[in-house]
Structure 1
């Protein structure tokens, strides 16, 4: 038996067999000269690799339905890839370069692919820019074949596993909703990372900061994940396993007791009422939210829809079509009936990389400060326009509100609203029904937004405070970095003062305000927020009954005293 100590990222206890995810192989392109006699040999190596990829795509193409709209989009992409693999102009350029500059074919292919893609990117034509993404992707697969790199498929993880890994990308976390995962044991990751947030959403115990665990644990070994204590127990003895089996049973009994709060209103001991909403990432989670007694959806993270779409295939797909998005939004609105549903526009970029061939992506030195969220969609406006069309079309099926992420200026809000107005004019001219009065609000998740909240309140229909990014950006602490985890402090006076300033601005302008970050789901931080005047909280669906229980045991005066103490903690 061996015990690993880490940091609790998601509470709870569970047991299961380890599944160790291998670390991704970095594509390192070798460079070495070849003799003139070996040029033909290098070309034949390329041809064999290209033909293998072509055959794989043809098999995938044959498996697609001719009737499905989703398969039609996939089919178009596969056919484009096949044309590119046999593009005579590119192949001629590649062979000419190999003969005139005899180096190994991997090196030549890497150079020519990037050169060709660069010409397409700089063409000034949107269609050709998209083809630049395609050519990098498909010939990247040929490079992987030449280098014998086999990307790991997260779908290989079986039900009931404890995932053991160095880290998990947000796109990999789609498996958390698709499999019955017993727990997470990671070397890296912050307690406010998207991986941790999703683990809590799905009630999966998780422990991060586990040094060397991937080297010492092997696939198939029995693990106990104690997310509450922040421990992983490897190959437990009979007594330990018996003790933890009892703890798991006690936890189940407490969860059963909590269920009595599902149908009760959220209110303090002295009757102050609250609205408790749910944070979701997929339409299926809306059903969980409804079952858990949510007053609505406070945050629908639409980027996870796009991630789910792009993770279905090893080949980069197109980002979600208008029709696919419409069906997803419609289904959530119908599940929630007349309850409010806040849907956030695409928050891609940063740590949330979406593998879509038409979604611009380049490596950035500091991606969390780079081209992400509203910055990305305002630069590539077709993404936002398509999403607005789907949202407005779905608006007639429920109580929709639209939210813009990572806003830092009034100009961004105004520009986004102009695009929304254009979309409404288009829908009207096409005689497509929609609700003209859908509120458009914003996330307050940067210091810039908090400081200028009085200005932003004049152009926004509502505020929602994203405390995860607000804390990260205000304190300059990477919430994904385990090394600086102790510095990530949501109760830092600077963060609390920005929240207070935002509340005051919303109240002055008489617009609704809520909190949808992780502070809204934790017992201690909920008490501070409630004492500051927040009455709308959005959290993982399974936390709703716990927060109801917590609020029912305290008065509003006690909550105000707690927050006053935090705000005066100099």
Structure 2
């Protein structure tokens, strides 16, 4: 038996025969110069190939209709293929040069991709691969180059490859894939996202996998441990088959917790909320037994609307309209049937880019966008966007139990400025005789060390706190967890992080303020126990994790939770 190690991209266990996808032959793009009279013909070939690939994407988009995740991938590709800024740059460079159109297209594709790779952000780096993938298909057509066809992958196999192009991920929904093992690939890549979405075990960053694994050899993909086991012995194979059966049985048991309240073994009650990014996910949250929505990320509505309106990820459009926002918020509130719904105001900037006529600044212009003009900083700098969103939120408030949350707050002044805009919005709506609830709670996200350190001051101007542990951890210890070079240093249990959490919880308690946690710490068993022991009683997480946290809490008492938390806080 041979064991190969990588990183977990999607948990679970898969067993199947290896289907090794060979590395594609390297396409050769000549740098030979062309004559001026050849340019019209070359440009016509480019337009033909561009139209052909666009047609293929439209067909693939139609084929995955109803699958939200895959539809978004192909919509993104369609937008890239119709991006006037990029295409205009390609045509201009071609006209000004003496090189072939495929040479110029490849040069421009790499240039744009390199910008994203050098952004220092994992999400944007993965989008660089999207650009290379889709315009690589155009280049292949120009060269009449035919790489391996992903449609040849059979059912019930473990895909073994150096990498998978994002456009190839459609295969994951059309085949019964036992697992995926790649040399390359990031956790936030489209392949990783889809693997998790479809419950396919996946391990990435496996060195020498194409040299080590033979086609048709029996493999076990252990997505939890990040291991690939080749040609396992009978005992190992039997052990893993038992684990698969145990996973299935456990999933069935968890279903019994969906309609039960979340409480400890000694009867202490908790509220388990859901984090969502789309209107449709509210229904999933309800089906999974959520007590409400702890975080509705509205930036994805803006990003989707902007892209759909213009057909270009880079073109500027009018912001997501008040009426469209109102309808989206109303649907979520009605879906949740009176359960609390916390909607976060626009958290754009950083790794979440929107293009709007109302935003003159672009995050791509910043050297460090995650520390730049984003979230509340962006909307206070462009108050019309915040005003429009608040109008839509207040109008929707009569349809449910709404709470409004302000992201990335670092000062009391930011809260007061946002509250002043909210007050003007209420006055406008009243003057217009538009129904709304005047007492909608407005709270803040505590996701920086600054906010945690002044949490006692913020508590005096806020109606509630929600702690975003992902950013709080990164900002506090200065570690990008998506950066492989420093990822081992990312530690949610770092004493500095725990002390900031403790201070924030105590500040909320002193003012009688409701408090929740909506970061990754709210969904992992070990960290849930620490948070609960510190006094947190409201946790917000992915809807699919709610039943497992209910099960965890049912097995432990408050005294045991306090002991676990105390041990962490007094670790030095």
Instruction: Return the TM-score normalized by structure 1.
Output: 0.71
8 Å CA contact 2:358–2:382 kept in 1: the answer is no
Matched, 1:251 2:247: yes
Contact persistence 2:12–2:224 (CA under 8 A) = yes
* Cα offsets for 1:422-469 (capped at 9, x unmatched): 444444455443333222222111111111212222222211111111
Pairing partner for 1:490 from 465, 489, 492: 492
State the partner residue of 1:555.
557
Change over 3 Å in CA distance of 1:248–1:493 after alignment to 2: same
Structure-2 residue corresponding to 1:295: 291
Q: Report deviation, 1:528.
A: 1.2
SS in 1 for 2:516: strand
Counterpart mapping for 1:7-406 below 5 A: 7-8=7-8, 11-14=11-14, 38-42=35-39, 45-46=42-43, 49=46, 98=96, 205-211=201-207, 213=209, 224-233=220-229, 243-306=239-302, 315-316=311-312, 320-353=320-353, 360-362=362-364, 364-406=366-408
Residue 347 of structure 1, CA deviation: 2.7
Alpha-carbon distance in structure 1 between the residues aligned to 2:287 and 2:136: 48
> How many Å separate the matches in 2 of 1:496 and 1:563?
9
1:436 correspondence with 2:438: yes
Q: Deviations over 1:175-222 (max 9, x none)?
A: 999999876656678889999899778766554553455887799998
Is the 1:189–1:480 Cα contact (8 Å) retained in structure 2?
Answer: no
Cα distance, 1:52 vs. partner? 6.2
Aligned to 1:117: none
Q: Determine if contact 1:275/1:536 at 8 Å carries over to the other structure.
A: yes
The 2-side partners of 1:162 and 1:56 are apart by 28
- Measured on the aligned residues, the alpha-carbon RMSD in Å equals 5.5
Structure 2, unpaired ranges of 5+: 24-28, 62-74, 109-130
Question: Larger deviation: 203-212 or 171-180?
Answer: 171-180
Q: Is the 8 A contact 2:49 2:141 kept in 1?
A: no
Match of 1:411 in 2: 413
Q: Which moved more, 1:519-528 or 1:540-549?
A: 540-549
Q: 1:237 Cα deviation (Å)?
A: 8.0
Note the alpha carbon deviations across 1:270-316, whole angstroms, 9 max, x for none. 22221111122233332222122211111122334455667889942
Cα 1:562–1:313, aligned 2, differ >3 Å: closer, same or farther? Answer: same
Deviation at 1:251, TM superposition (A): 0.9
Distance 1:60 1:169, change over 3 A: closer
What is the rounded CA distance, in whole Å, between the counterparts of 2:222 and 2:536 in structure 1? 32
CA 1:473/1:255 → structure 2, altered by over 3 Å: closer, same or farther?
same
Deviation at 1:506, TM superposition (A): 1.4
Q: 1:41 to 1:194 in 2, by over 3 A?
A: closer
Deviation at 1:247, TM superposition (A): 2.0
In 1: Cα distance, 2:397 partner to 2:424 partner: 16
Shift of 1:535: 0.9
d(CA) in 1 for partners of 2:16 and 2:211? 18
For residue 20 of structure 1, report the CA deviation from its aligned partner.
9.4
In structure 1, runs of 5+ residues without a counterpart are 24-28, 65-73, 113-137
1:541 corresponding residue in structure 2: 543
